[in-house]
Chains A and B, each alone.
Chain A
Amino acid sequence: MKKLKSKRKKFLVRKSKKTQDRATKRRKRQGKFHKRKQENSLTKAYERNLDFIKKSRKDITISPKNNLELLEHTNNVIEFISELKSYRNVAHEVKSIFIDLKDVISIDIGTISLLLSSVKELALYDINVKGNLPKKQNTKDAFIDSGYLEHMGEVSKSIKKSMRVSNKENLLLMLAKEKSESKKVGQCIKLGIKALTGKENHYPPVYGIIQEMNGNSVEHAYKDKKHWIMGINHDKIKNKLIFTFTDNGFGIIRTLKKRFNINAFKKMNWHTDEKILEGVFDKKYNSRFKKQYNRNKGLPVIKKAQAENKIKNLIVIANESIVNFNTGKASRLNKEFSGTFYYWELDLKTYMNGKNIN
């Protein structure tokens, strides 16, 4: 081939560059040039980052303290649950969470319900949760008898071997998203009453208070990933029902602080969060907030059910506060529970009282 002279070569390079520039200008005019370039670079950057994120996601192990009875060791339980729930905020960094319960020596149904509701919440963020059972036999039995394992996603072969036949009626768990799910709530309560009395029946005081919690949850609690979880456990030995309702949203106190100025609380002598939580269940709270004449009546209805002995042992945990309506004690927790948790009981005597049966 004939070798090009340098002048000719330079001319051809200039010409091809001009052609390229014209093509670029044409694409710019058509709005195609930047978009394509941008798309390509963004796609590549995303793929690079995704790869990096996948490789760097971690397996987390959480080991709670030994005593996890909600009613006796509330701070231990809330610290554990608070740590577990915190991983929803960094879900993209977490591959899986292993809950190491082998050293736990005591637990109650309140804690088991809180634990299950937290696991359900993490599942909404695509976090895989696994775990083991306590080594101590009666604590392990408490887990199995509660029906906890029926609601956990995966159960290992070694745990399956050690399981006794567990009665699925021990624990009913219901997860609802976005809407109130009234029919399902009513049907779950009927099943609970059947376990308690032998016969399916409505129990309006409990249905009513769950609907109050339900209404607050769907209206106030969240921005996104709305959900709430209700649990009903039948303690066969004491023949009582244990109810829990977990709302993994903002929590009563944080919701109130967003809606009202701090001076509104000071005017009512609610100087601490515990006082706010206690006070908000009081009927007279409603009258202090102008322009909300027909609202804010749900929480006093819940307290009234306890006061009239239609339910027993009502406890409410919200953010950093806990109120025990049975003892009348309100106190501060060491760690924040992000959401609102209700616990209450119903035995046969209380049920008969609530139904006006003598």
Chain B
Amino acid sequence: MEKILIRVIDFTEYPGVRYKHQGNNDSGEDFYYEVIKPAFEKALNQEKILSVDLDGTAGYASSFLDESFGNLVYDFPFEEIKTHLEIKSFEEPDWIDVIFKETLKDWKRKKDENQPRKPER
């Protein structure tokens, strides 16, 4: 399948934390709604794979990646996410396993139990 490539560094060199109100337009929530969600929708419509490159940034908080990719579970079918999402990283390859083996599964469990995607403040 063809790929749509996006790089986190094109969004920010300094990824923030989880929520919009905690950062300066550099949060995982910002990245999901501004970049990941529209790009994934496009990839599904065009029958392509969304390939996300994590390299080149200053690094990541787990909450940034959790919010960036976990939200996909609430907006798209889980099986489609597994087949149409690819994560690349030479600098911190551990994050790939964390996203696919933990993040997506935790969010699916949350969704299956009808929990809101974002807790009330």
A298-B58 contact, Cβ under 8 Å, with A180-B17, A182-B15, A215-B17: no
Q: How many A-B contacts if CB must be within 8 Å?
A: 96
Neighbouring A residues of B62 by C-beta, 8 Å: 208, 212, 297-298, 301
Neighbouring A residues of B92 by C-beta, 8 Å: 204, 208
* A291–B112 alpha-carbon span in the complex (Å): 11
Establish whether residues B61 and A185, one from each chain, have CB atoms under 8 Å apart when the complex forms: no
Q: Is B91 an interface residue (CB 8 A)?
A: yes
Which listed residue (B22, B26, B59, B102) contacts A208, Cβ 8 A?
Answer: B59
Specify the main secondary structure of chain B where it touches its partner: loop
Q: From A218, which residue of chain B is reached at the shortest CB distance?
A: B22
- Binary contact track A193-215/B, C-beta < 8 Å → 1, others 0: 00000000011111110011011
**Could you say which of A181, A185, A204, A206 has the most chain B C-beta atoms within 10 Å of its C-beta?**
A204
Chain B contact-residue range equals 20 to 34
Establish whether residues B59 and A207, one from each chain, have CB atoms under 8 Å apart when the complex forms: yes
Neighbouring B residues of A214 by C-beta, 8 Å: 17, 61
Neighbouring A residues of B102 by C-beta, 8 Å: 297
Give chain A nearest CB distance to B55 CB in angstroms. Answer: 9
Q: Is B82 an interface residue (CB 8 A)?
A: no
Residues of A within 8 A of B (CB): 179-183, 185-186, 189-190, 202-208, 211-212, 214-215, 218-219, 291, 293-294, 297-298, 301
29 residue pairs from A and B, CB less than 8 Å apart? A179-B23, A179-B24, A180-B23, A183-B13, A183-B24, A186-B13, A189-B58, A202-B59, A204-B92, A205-B59, A207-B58, A211-B16, A211-B17, A211-B64, A212-B61, A214-B61, A215-B17, A215-B63, A219-B17, A291-B113, A293-B109, A294-B70, A294-B103, A297-B62, A297-B66, A298-B61, A298-B62, A298-B63, A301-B62
